[in-house]
Amino acid sequence: MSDTKKMCVVVFGGTVDKLYPAAIMASGAVMNDMEVDIFLTFWGLLAFRKGTPKQLSSVSKDYEELGPEMMRVMSEKNVPSWYDTLVQAKEMGNIKVHACAMTADLFEMELDDFEPIVDDIIGVGEFVGMSAEADTTLYLG
Amino acid sequence: MSDTKKMCVVVFGGTVDKLYPAAIMASGAVMNDMEVDIFLTFWGLLAFRKGTPKQLSSVSKDYEELGPEMMRVMSEKNVPSWYDTLVQAKEMGNIKVHACAMTADLFEMELDDFEPIVDDIIGVGEFVGMSAEADTTLYLG
Amino acid sequence: MSDTKKMCVVVFGGTVDKLYPAAIMASGAVMNDMEVDIFLTFWGLLAFRKGTPKQLSSVSKDYEELGPEMMRVMSEKNVPSWYDTLVQAKEMGNIKVHACAMTADLFEMELDDFEPIVDDIIGVGEFVGMSAEADTTLYLG
């Protein structure tokens, strides 16, 4: 048995502010030499459709007043996008990105319809099995 | 000590798109022969008031543009409702559904005011105790 | 090694209804004699800026119809605010409140800019390390 700690992350939310934490938490896990399994589902999966990460600009409506300010500050400070942050973390560590089979089926999408960062399409049963063995699991709603 | 793995799920969100994952994650746990404890709180509990699951049609405002498309596709493909999916998972596996006592008190609701899938009303202290022993806990915000 | 159970909580959401569960879950952990580490990030951190907890009144737009009713009932029943609930839990138990360094940097905020309940500013790597050792971790989206 390996001593490597594992983190599982469910990415359900699909606005820019909700996707940043997926990338940031995964980066934090990589800093701790942890393995990461990311499960993209619902709006979180739709955000990874080919071409979407570059276009996506929506911020959760709950923070409409603060959203533009956050986006402006991020742009001023040249903060990399949530997608580039995740790509970078994946290059540096052991991160696997899985698409939820049910959501993919629903929208009749195949692996090729997603950004190349997505490794495969798996069922929820397989992901929950991973999560049961992980040291920590985050559900990003 | 039993070898059965356990999952805890907090259901805070109360829109259709946020309730589906509660049912789907619970189904995934059942596929893995895991025990599941679901804790319904705030908007998640209000969604289980008698009669509400059948009427509920709201989708998170963050995905207003994608919501109608998702609902249309689900209807076309005869995807069972989030509530029926959860009922089915509960029939097949070991799922307990708990209402949050604080939320129930706040709205002066008793066990009889909820859909029959709700097993009991428990305090947050009892739920957190379950969660501390679980192999994985998801907070569905 | 200590037998004390530990809970980690990420507070990402920053509306009143999303902040209550942070305080309530932490209280539940204190009831179970657990140690709690709370990590405030994004909108959750902005809610802890000096002066903000008293002014904050927003409820998630997904529950616009139910929100005013919930706020009215809470006020009628003299339910303490989410912030006072958290302060009380912290006085009774072992809760540490950490601000996310990345969010603080982004908005050029220092420890002194936050309510006194915030203990320190830490990086996501340090928090994920805590979470990997915790018995349960909740991400409040």
For A20-43, give one letter per residue: b (16+ CB within 10 A) or e: bbbbbbbbbbbbbebbbbbbbbbb
Q: Cα torsion at C112, C117, C120, C126 (round to 10°)? A: -150
Nearest Cα to B140, choosing from A139, A34, A8?
A139
Three-state SS at A138: strand
- CA–CA distance, C93 with C32 (Å, rounded to integer): 10
Binning pLDDT at 50, 70 and 90, where does residue B1 land? Answer: low
Contact C14 A79 (CB under 8 A): no
Distance from CA of C61 to the nearest CA of A (A): 6
Choose the mutation target among B12, B16, B56 for the interface with C, i.e. most C CBs under 10 Å: B12
- The CA distance from C47 to C37, in Å, is 17
**Chain B contacts of C138, Cβ < 8 Å?**
10, 137, 139
- Residues C92-107: tens digit of each pLDDT: 999 999 999 999 999 9
Query: What subunits touch chain B, counting only 3 or more CB pairs under 8 A?
Result: A, C
Residue A80 CB neighbour total at 10 angstroms: 12
What pTM does this model have? 0.97
Q: What is the dihedral angle through the alpha carbons of B29, B33, B35, B41, rounded to the nearest 10 degrees? A: 20
Closest chain B CA to residue C69: B107
* B86-122 residue pLDDT tens: 999 999 999 999 999 999 999 999 999 999 999 999 9
Q: Which residue of C has its CA nearest to A134?
A: C132
Report pLDDT digits (tens) over B2-32: 689 999 999 999 999 999 999 999 999 999 9
DSSP-assigned states of every residue in B2-22? ----EEEEEE---SHHHHHHH
Nearest neighbour of C14 by CB, restricted to A7, A61, A63: A63
Return mean pLDDT, chain A: 97
* Cβ neighbours for C104, distance < 8 A, ≥ 6 positions apart: C45, C110, C121
Which residues on chain C are in Cβ contact (under 8 Å) with B15?
Answer: 62
Is pLDDT above 60 for A73?
yes
Q: What are phi and psi of B114, to 5 degrees?
A: -105, 165
Q: B135 at the C interface (CB within 8 A)?
A: no
Contact status of A58 with chain B (Cβ, < 8 Å): yes
Q: Which DSSP symbol is given to C117? A: T
Q: What is the dihedral of CA B112, C60, C17, A140, to 10 degrees?
A: 90
Chain B residues within 8 A of C60 when measuring between CB atoms: 43
Q: Assess C4–B contact: CB distance below 8 Å, yes or no.
A: no
B66 touches chain C (CB under 8 A): no
Q: pLDDT category, A24, cuts 50, 70, 90?
A: very high
Please answer yes or no on whether C18 and B139 come within 8 Å at the CB atom: no
For the question of an ipTM over 0.85, the answer is yes
| C-alpha to C-alpha distance for B26 and B40, rounded to whole angstroms | 13
Flag whether residue B44 sits within 8 Å of chain A, measured between CB atoms: no
Interchain CB distance below 8 Å, C106 and A70: yes
Cβ contacts of A12 on chain B, cutoff 8 Å: 18, 21, 140
* C141–A140 C-beta distance less than 8 A: yes
* Sheet with B6-11, side-by-side order of all strands: B120-122, B94-100, B35-40, B6-11, B136-140
